[in-house]
Amino acid sequence: MAAVEDILLQSTNTTILLGTFAILFILYLFSPSFGPQRKEPPGPWPLPLLGNLLQLDPKSPHSTLYELYKKYGPVFTVHLGAKKVVMLAGHRTIKQALVNNDAFTDKENLPIINDLKLEHGIVFASGDSWKEMRQFALTNLKQSGMGKRENEERIIEESQYLIDVLRQKDGKAFDTTQPVSYAVSNIICSFVYGNRFDYDDQNFRSAVDQAKKNTQLMGSPSLHLYNIFPRLFRWLGARKQLMKGSFANRKKMTELIKGLQETLNPQMCRGFVDCFLVRKTQLEASGNMNSHYYEDNLLVSVVNLFTAGTDTTSSTLRYGLLLMAKYPEIQDQVQVELASVVGSRQVRVEDRKNLPYTDAVIHEIQRFANVTPVLVHCASRDVTFQGYFIKKGTPVAILLSSALQDEDEWEKAYTFNPGHFLDKEGNFRKRDAFLPFSTGSRSCVGEGLAKMELFLFFTSLLQHFCFTPPPGVTEDELDLTAVVGFALSPSPHELCAISRSDKD
């Protein structure tokens, strides 16, 4: 009799459980967020708790997202744990979402961003404060010479320091990371602080090296796991390293800002920090104590400018040198064009229009390197986009790699091919899907600066050196695999910079 009662009890429990699931499923189907008026973007079916995490390749998550884009279309959903993320892919969809559209201008408030107190400044801020800081940075950079002759002179001067360092290598194999990063970082430092730093300055070297490490940690699988499950994974070593390194760098920046403040001359601003301090003083003198010009906004803006102005450009330039070593016939063709058009004099920005092949190679480096494959925004309001409802506060990820490596847009999407940017007559041609700096109001603040840096550094280096693999390594053995981080960077490698005068 007891056995019968047990069977009946189990049967009743099963019925209740199935009935509960049925009710929940019906409620889900007929909830306000489901149906023709609020159709949500399609996507792969998520697992409980994990969502679609197991489907993403941890070594190249953007590649998995690209495959999902091809399957589900330009607006689709993935679940990272329990968190729903709407993906926007394809250059047309990205432009529609970001150009003249304020629905996706906010930034997601990630746990690690709160931990690092990065919600101020330019990159991770939202709302009026972000708008003010971005506009102030743009105005200040333009007034300080971004895109102008004085900026060109700064980069040319810095390229000579870099050339001197490479000459000292005497053709022996070396890691390109530090010298290239120090040179690129000095350009943004000259804008932010008003001066460059010697490559032997230990504080400068430490700050640049730590910033690069921080960028890698920010995009590591461990940090993604923490952002998805913050209560479970606060103990992760990557988070602790990132916290320690970030605040160590911030302490150095605070000391530099304090030194500039003590020597401030309102009549002669040396850089971004001086301009910010003057603006802050002016507003306080007028009685405006509630402005966006306060210490945290200054410090985090400096962190943003220094990090972004160092890592992405230096990674792209390093990829460029690596690609020249891997494809010597392309390097030779660049050098032939430089010799024919420029000769032995210093390359100038105005020469770009007469260097179509070189210009195409630099654009192809940016496309192929794909250093910022994904940018995460947030829906600033409820919006229906391309027929799909996206709720306010939903993370919205912009898949830039879908524009840069779309097989429907590029003839040889996964091959390094400067011909992507050349017409049949060998003239440079623009491509609509070329979006390495994103677009719209969230596009890279330093886009003009980065373009000038890449052109002048790259051409100056190729005028003086031929880049080759280390002895015993063939071109085919050079690894183009990226290291995953907040931005992608080349795998650790060494190159030889052979002086062209020695070669001749």
Q: Is the pLDDT of residue 336 over 70?
A: yes
- Residue 438 region by backbone torsions, left for phi larger than 0, else alpha for psi between -120 and 50, else beta: left
DSSP assignment of 479-493 equals --PEEPSSS-EEPS-
Q: What type of residue sits at position 223? A: L
* pLDDT greater than 50 at residue 89: yes
pLDDT tops 60 at residue 402? yes
CA-closest candidate to residue 252, choices 308, 210, 280, 315: 210
- Tell me the per-residue pLDDT of 357-400, one tens digit each, with 9 for 90 and over: 999 999 999 999 999 999 999 999 999 999 999 999 999 999 99
Tokens found for residue 37:
């008026």
All structural domains of the chain: 122-372+414-499 (1.10.630.10)
Query: pTM for the full model?
Result: 0.89
> Taking a C-beta distance cutoff of 8 angstroms, is the pair 122, 130 a contact?
yes
**How would you write 116-153 as a 3-class SS string?**
CCCCCCCCCCCHHHHHHHHHHHHHHHHHCCCCCHHHHH
To which residue do tokens 């400067």 refer?
Answer: 418
Computed over its alpha carbons, how large is the radius of gyration of the chain?
Answer: 26
Confidence of residue 485 (pLDDT cuts 50, 70, 90): confident
Helices assigned H by DSSP within 35-148: 61-72, 91-98, 111-115, 127-143
Give the residue-averaged pLDDT of 136-165: 85
- The string of pLDDT tens digits covering residues 231-289 is 888 898 999 999 999 999 999 999 999 999 999 999 999 999 999 999 999 998 888 77
pLDDT value for 32: 42
Residues 230, 113: Cα–Cα separation, whole Å: 12
Distance between CA atoms of residues 87 and 52, nearest Å: 13
CB-based contacts of 467, cutoff 8 Å, min separation 6: 321, 322, 324, 325, 331, 461, 495, 496, 497, 498
Distance CA 142, CA 185 (A): 18
Q: Which helix (H) or strand (E) holds 16?
A: helix 2-29
Query: Residue 64 above 50 pLDDT?
Result: yes
Question: What integer pLDDT is reported at residue 24 of this predicted model?
Answer: 42
Assess whether pLDDT exceeds 50 at residue 22: no
Write phi, then psi, for 119 (nearest 5 degrees).
Answer: -75, -5
Nearest Cα residue to 248 out of 152, 154, 347, 116? 116
Highest mean pLDDT out of 111-120, 128-137, 160-169, 443-452:
160-169
pLDDT confidence bin for 415, thresholds 50/70/90: very high
Please write the tens of the pLDDT for every residue from 174-218: 999 999 999 999 999 999 999 999 999 999 999 999 999 999 998
Say how far apart CA 305 and CA 312 lie, in whole Å: 11
Name the percent of the chain lying above pLDDT 70. Answer: 91
pLDDT at 4: 39
| Per-residue model confidence (pLDDT) at position 60 | 87
CA distance 458 to 109: 37
How large is the average pLDDT for residues 65-90? 95
The answer, yes or no, to whether residue 12 has pLDDT greater than 70, is no
Gap between the Cα atoms of 286 and 468, Å rounded: 60
User: What pLDDT, on a 0 to 100 scale, did the predictor assign at position 6?
Assistant: 46
CB 108 within 8 A of CB 377: yes
> 237-262 vs 295-326: helix axis angle to the nearest 10?
110
Cα separation, 337 vs 343, whole angstroms: 9
Distances in whole angstroms, Cα of residue 74 to Cα of each of 26, 42, 385, 398, 413: 28, 10, 11, 10, 18
> Is pLDDT at 41 greater than 80 in this prediction?
yes
The two three-digit tokens of residue 497, written as one number: 């910079």
Burial per residue of 116-138, b for 16 or more beta-carbon CB atoms within 10 angstroms, e otherwise: bebbbbbbbbbeebbebbbebbb
C-alpha distance from residue 248 to each of 207, 226, 303 (Å):
9, 21, 12
Q: Which amino acid appears at position 264 of this protein?
A: L
Residue type, 373: P
Kindly state the average pLDDT of the residues 27-37: 44
Mean pLDDT of all residues in the chain? 90
Q: Is 189 annotated as a binding residue?
A: no
pLDDT tens by residue, 420-472: 999 999 999 999 999 999 999 999 998 989 999 999 999 999 999 999 999 99
Q: Helix, strand, coil: what percent of the chain each, to 5?
A: 55, 10, 35
pLDDT confidence of 11, banded at 50, 70, 90? Answer: very low
What is the rounded CA–CA span in Å between residue 120 and residue 253?
16
Mean pLDDT of 75-98: 95
Percent of the chain at pLDDT > 90 equals: 78
- State the CB neighbour count (10 A cutoff) for residue 282: 13
pLDDT number for residue 38: 80
